[in-house]
């Protein structure tokens, strides 16, 4: 098994005629993803890499069976796109657009909660189940994705989509495969946090360990610690926290919109101490990660 992304998941791309969306649609199809429809208002009837474009999500869903939607539209219209998908009953939304207004994200998440829809992102590169499918643009070109990701038993959750691929590549090079990898998103508010996703990995028999890529800012890691204190995980967890220099630089954004350190809130040192106290093995260097993971997953995945 995997979580969220399965070999038979049918995927819709909202904004498919855009340059970026058109590119990742082509590469995802080459990787084996089932992209069954696209939506761009006013461009219904066109085809993008063999995928039929519809004017509305409702029309696409009526014509095709759809379980997941990738939202790749300009930030100001993400809310409208997400609401359209939610009204059509799509189970999973992956929002790759970045810097979506916070009030819009809150409105999307409130509606998604009512409808029972899982949201990944904004500012996510997506979800990948190696050698089965990907929902989004994890890994870039299909050939690069195949080199970086390998099917196995280590789940990855990362606040950086690019670093998720780097971590997966390090594991793959040492013979350690991955079950499901999720780019949770780098905006200040995202639909699914580490703590939200942990139960899904715990319920997946294929996943034997977790690897986290953490960043300065936000309280995502602290929320995970709270959850681990309340209910220890069956999964051993290894983490790497980027931006240790940020402990000396307050109130500055580092890369992602959500990576801002204010006092001890969101500081890398504070995160590391809390994670370690909760039983998470924290690597101080990226090069240590395969070794640490191998200690908890001794056999090639």
Beta bridge partners of residue 134, listed in sequence order: 128
14 CB-near residues (< 8 Å, 6+ apart):
38, 39, 40, 57, 69, 70, 71, 72, 73, 81, 84, 85
What domains are defined for the chain? 1-124 (3.40.50.720), 150-301 (3.40.50.261)
DSSP-derived secondary structure letter, 232: -
Per-residue pLDDT of the chain (301 residues; tens, 9 = 90+): 789 999 999 999 999 999 999 999 999 999 999 999 999 999 999 999 999 999 999 999 999 999 999 999 999 999 999 999 999 999 999 999 999 999 999 999 999 999 999 999 999 999 999 999 999 999 999 999 999 999 999 999 999 999 999 999 999 999 999 999 999 999 999 999 999 999 999 999 999 999 999 998 788 999 999 999 999 999 999 999 997 654 445 555 555 444 455 555 568 888 999 999 999 999 999 999 999 999 988 665 4
168: enclosing H helix or E strand: helix 161-173
Return d(Cα 274, Cα 262) in angstroms, integer: 17
Q: What is the pTM of this model?
A: 0.92
Catalytic site residue 256?
A: yes
* Distance from the first to the final alpha carbon of the chain: 14
């Amino acid at each position: 098994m995997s979580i969220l992304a399965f070999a038979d998941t049918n995927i819709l791309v909202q904004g498919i005629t855009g340059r970026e969306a058109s590119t990742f649609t082509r590469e995802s199809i080459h990787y084996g993803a089932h992209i069954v429809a696209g939506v761009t208002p006013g461009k219904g009837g066109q085809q993008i890499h063999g995928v039929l474009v519809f004017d509305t999500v409702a029309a696409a869903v009526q014509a095709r069976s759809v379980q997941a939607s990738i939202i790749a539209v300009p930030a100001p219209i993400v809310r409208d796109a997400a609401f359209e998908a939610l009204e059509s009953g799509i189970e999973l939304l992956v929002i790759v657009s970045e810097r979506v207004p916070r009030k819009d994200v809150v409105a999307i998440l409130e509606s998604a909660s009512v409808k029972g829809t899982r949201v990944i992102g904004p500012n996510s590169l997506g979800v990948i189940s190696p050698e089965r499918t990907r929902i989004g643009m994890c890994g870039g070109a299909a050939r690069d994705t195949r080199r970086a990701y390998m099917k196995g038993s280590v789940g990855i959750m990362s606040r950086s989509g690019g670093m998720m691929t780097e971590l997966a590549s390090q594991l793959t090079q040492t013979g350690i495969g991955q079950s499901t990898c999720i780019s949770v998103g780098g905006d200040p508010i995202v639909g699914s946090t580490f703590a939200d996703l942990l139960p899904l990995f715990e319920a997946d028999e294929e996943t034997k360990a977790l690897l986290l890529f953490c960043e300065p800012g936000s309280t995502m890691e602290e929320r995970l610690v709270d959850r681990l204190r309340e209910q220890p995980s069956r999964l051993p967890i290894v983490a790497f926290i980027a931006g240790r220099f940020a402990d000396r630089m307050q109130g500055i954004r580092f890369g992602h919109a959500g990576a801002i350190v204010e006092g001890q809130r969101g500081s890398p040192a504070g995160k590391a101490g809390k994670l370690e106290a909760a039983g998470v093995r924290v690597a101080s260097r990226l090069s240590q990660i395969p070794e640490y993971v191998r200690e908890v997953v001794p056999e090639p995945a």
